[in-house]
Chain A
Amino acid sequence: MQTLDVISVNIWQILISLINLVLLFLLLKKFLYKPVKKILQKRKDELDAQYQAAADAEAIAQEHRQEWEAKLLTAEDTASEILQNATENAKRHGDRLVADAQEKAEGIIRVAQNEAELERRKATEDIKREIVEVSGALTEKMLGREINTQDHHALIESFIENIGEEDGGNN
């Protein structure tokens, strides 16, 4: 079989090898670089998006933190205010309760007094009547005759009235 010389130049062979190189260049460009770079770009986009999301989340967190810090700062004031309000409320409530109780007690006392007064009046009335009757009967017996009961009763009653009034003043 024939062989080429060690150094041989052939235009067509040179041209074919040149075309081979260009062909490989085009193939690599289309089938290696294009897909790989597309994937790299996609990955970069995804990464950027993730970074953006992380930054957004951090910003939101920061915002919340500031908000809470501000809230914390005012919380003490709020707490003391609330406490004060509560104390005031409680005091007011207690006062009202006490006042109510007093009122009620006074009412009860008043009612009791009234009742006592009424009892007393009734008693006085009764006693008066009895005295009148007794004294009437006594006088009848002492005098031995029928007296004008009606006049007599009025006389005694006016007398006792005076006594009663004196008693009422003592009360």
Chain B
Amino acid sequence: MKVTDRQKRVFIAVDVLLILMMVLPIVAAITLKVLTTPASDGVSITGARIFFTIPMPLQDLPITESQINSFLVLISIFGLCLYMTHGLKVKANLRRQHIAEWIVEKVETMVNESMGDYFKGYAPFITSILALSAFSSLLSLFGLYPPTSDLNIVAGWAILVFGLITYYKLKSGPLKYLKGFLEPVPFLAPMNIIGEFATPLSMSFRHYGNVLSGTVISALLASALQGLSRMVLGWLPDALASIPVFQIGIPAVLSIYFDVFSGCLQAYIFAMLTMMYVSGGFSLEDYLLRKEKREKRKAKNKKSKINDNLEVV
């Protein structure tokens, strides 16, 4: 099969479109941020800014920066994954294919090692948690509001994980699950129930708190450095004194820790905890035992029904 010029051109055009799909959401978010941020000097630590509010039952839905940013990140990740899988070949000749294969195999091994064979299908889910969390946190590198520093976003993921944990616990035996609350002694049941709900709570607060604290410390430090440079350069004329000398460079070093390292680490921790909790709440032996019992009962029912029919006849 010979690659014609036309095919090559189409390939490159699709590539460009996909790269645009990756980059444009970030650019759009930055533009939105620049256009809507009011000029302010002071340190203000607040939640996400609300663009508009949609009235909804129970509670109004405010469309905030975090909502929009997380959606843009979603589109960006989708573009990235389309870009990486564009032009896959058996004889790989593109670096992006190597990266895509590396990601897929790495996550699959990780899932296999920490969850076991039964949860093989969890690899895409873990990848999506890793990607969404890491890229959301990394948005702060562009000066954007990281969606992971909004409790609602992380809570949504934690609740989904909680649902999965409970589903697998129930799958390996509902009675056992309920009985588990009464152990080791029945009057500890309230504690156990609190402990059950503490899982998603701790997961979401850990992630959200880490990212938010990074932002807070960065903001505090930036203003402190500004004050310091004003103090040191105070004797100079006004035009020179207002140059924040110490704000150049130093925040970048801290940003490496708080934005890059902490963001990736929290994503990893969240994914790890998800794997551990989901696979930890599930006992394959109990599940298989239950399945066997159920099938036996079914077979018995069928037999007795046939017997009834025979008697009727």
Contact = CB atoms under 8 A, between A and B. Distances in A.
Given A27-B78, A39-B89, A14 B159 contact: yes
Interface in A7-58: 7-25, 27-29, 31-33, 35-37, 39-40, 42-43, 46
A28 B153 contact: no
A31 B81 contact: yes
A93 B259 CA distance: 104
Contacts of B78: 24, 27, 31
B81 A6 contact: no
Contacts of A7: 47, 151
A10 B132 contact: no
Contacts, number: 143
Interface residues of A, number: 39
A42 to B, nearest CB: 5
B236 interface: no
Given A18-B160, A20-B70, A35 B88 contact: yes
| Chain B interface SS verdict (over half) | helix
Interface residues of B, number: 56
Nearest to A40: B101
A10 to B, nearest CB: 5
A170 interface: no
Contacts of B47: 3-8
A2 interface: yes
A73 interface: no
A52 to B, nearest CB: 17
A142 interface: no
A42 B97 CA distance: 14
Interface of A: 1-25, 27-29, 31-33, 35-37, 39-40, 42-43, 46
Closest 7 CB pairs of A and B: A17-B156, A4-B47, A13-B152, A18-B156, A12-B61, A29-B124, A3-B46
9 contacts: A1-B38, A12-B59, A13-B61, A13-B150, A14-B159, A16-B67, A18-B156, A28-B128, A36-B85
Given A4-B64, A39-B89, 10 more contacts: A7-B151, A12-B56, A14-B156, A17-B152, A21-B160, A25-B125, A31-B81, A32-B85, A37-B104, A40-B101
